[in-house]
Structure 1
Amino acid sequence: MRKKFWLTLMVLSVGSVLTACGNDSEGTSSDESNEADFSVITTFYPIYDFTQNIVGEEGNVELLVPAGTEPHDFEPSAQQIAEIQDSDAFVYHDENMETWVPDTVEGWEEGQLSIVQGTENIELMPGNEEDHDHEGEEHRGEGEHQHSHEYDPHTWVDPKLAIQEVEAIRDQLSEDYPEKEDAFAENAENYIGELEELDQEYEASFADAQQKSFVTQHAAFAYLAREYDLNQVPISGLSSEEEPSPERLAELKDYVEENDIQYIYFEENASDDIASTLADEANVELEVLNPLESLTDQQIDNGEDYISVMEDNLSALEKTTNTEGEEVQPEETDE
């Protein structure tokens, strides 16, 4: 009798434990279902931030290019490509930035996942000087996926174009996932409102700019300069990894000295050796101007994002644009 009692008790105990474990497991999967149900992989930082603000709590958005990494020449590993294929949506900027994308997605099964291009409705400016004769052609020619930038991909540094990119990402995700369209629309509307305020800050600041020319480490700010009637004078080309020739540095030193330029802008996340050398030789100050191609882990942990960094960029540029004196003339270039 006693044995039968203890046997019954053990069976009931085991059953209770299994039931509890089953309930715990079900609760965990339910809590995580919002994120696990819809997964999005984005390429580099501004695309990640734009997409995160659109998707919100509707899914999990991941960043492919590691924090603090130069994205211009990034190539994904086989494992990363497999992870992209396992996701629901892949969001990239433009093949002139992520030059690896066209060849990578070419063999993927149609409809396997949503492939979203941020610059879908944006006309890019010509890139390197030797490519200027391509102006007016379609900027997405087939087979032209080299690491050189035929077209300037840095549209996101212009808040107005950032808004267009957010709208393009929203529309493409909504088309492929109509059940989330309302949430995407509401999230995007709120974020676009913040971007419009940012744009208004830039417009108000530069409306009466006393100086319009600014010297940058690399040619990442052409769209911003065009939008707000400024003049970018880059030390090097479209990639921060490019190094200028000694002749180019000598030209810039003369330009800085002749125009009494007070600041040269460099990037925290790239080598500032060239900018520092020019600043030392011309006896001017260095100031950070972030092209937002990547944020460090520390910046992300500190809560910095696209809008906060763009506000920092505005404050940095105002050190030049608010400088009194004779207006600096644009750099003369050979056509």
Structure 2
Amino acid sequence: MSHTSGEFLKPDLAALQAASDDLSYSGGLEPVTGLFGQKLVAGKYEVLNFLASGGSGTLYVARNLVTGETVALKVLDTDCSGRGRGHIPDGRLIARFLKEGRTLAMLSHPGVVKVLDSGFDLGINKYYLVQRFLPGETVEAYLERNVESPASFILEFLWQLGSALSYCHSMGVVHRDIKPANIMMQPHLKGKFVYTLVDFGLARYERGNFSFLTRSREVLGSHYYMSPEQCLSETIDERSDIYSLALVAYELLTGRKSANTGSPLNVLMSHVNGLNLPQSLSDPKDELSERLYKIILKAASRRPEDRYQSLDELLVELPRPEWKEWK
């Protein structure tokens, strides 16, 4: 098989739902009956199992028949053949998919998923992206089982994710979709976890010649974790990622979401108007919990200028975790 390697404007709810990529890892692996009528992609990736599906693609567990390595294979769902009705390629979706591959290819950090290969399979007329397979689960799946987490857990989480995002920002990359479903956690020694950022489909690269693919007034992201400026379709920078990371940490620490539940529009409005989070924990377990909560509150400030201005600035405020093997 041949292949080649400001002023608030009410967000449009339909656009939000269509644009948000809710790709998340499923709780279990389901057998694949066939990937578009076949099980081999790019002549060497044997599809083994379905893993997840979302707005921009489908994720599979696959095996590289050349190396024997187990990988994660992401296939863009849009058909690029242009044959027949319903087969008009989505140019913007393709551009985002290609940008994700290019962005990941230039990043090298233990806290960022590693891209191994990418290309276009002429047999199925689809683009694909091959990434390192990450056993474990998402923070989203973890949160479904755990009401709240100990402060030491949150500390390690913030150190690892903060370090990974700090690296991304130093490379000119803003993730723009930090949420529990986009953070993998792998069990490690001593009951600890290693965290990895995945899904850079909405990432913005602020250097070089990559085009910024968001239409004016287009709302992209996951509404529970979007910064106010992101909800308003304003220009965003690394402080938006800091806000989103803080909301994930808040959820881990308290066992509840920071924003009001309800329609996506109501959630967006709660970000824009200010979350009005409690200024202290109602039942702090220890001094570390209180200290982390104050850091989270500052990072989740409504105005970007009131937050930490960089992840490095936030990390300086954190105590050093006892466990450092993840570095």
Greater strand content: 2
Decide which structure has the larger Cα Rg and report it.
Answer: 1
Greater helix content: 1
**Same fold by TM (over 0.5)?**
no
What's the TM-score, normalizing by structure 2?
Answer: 0.29
What's the TM-score, normalizing by structure 1?
Answer: 0.29
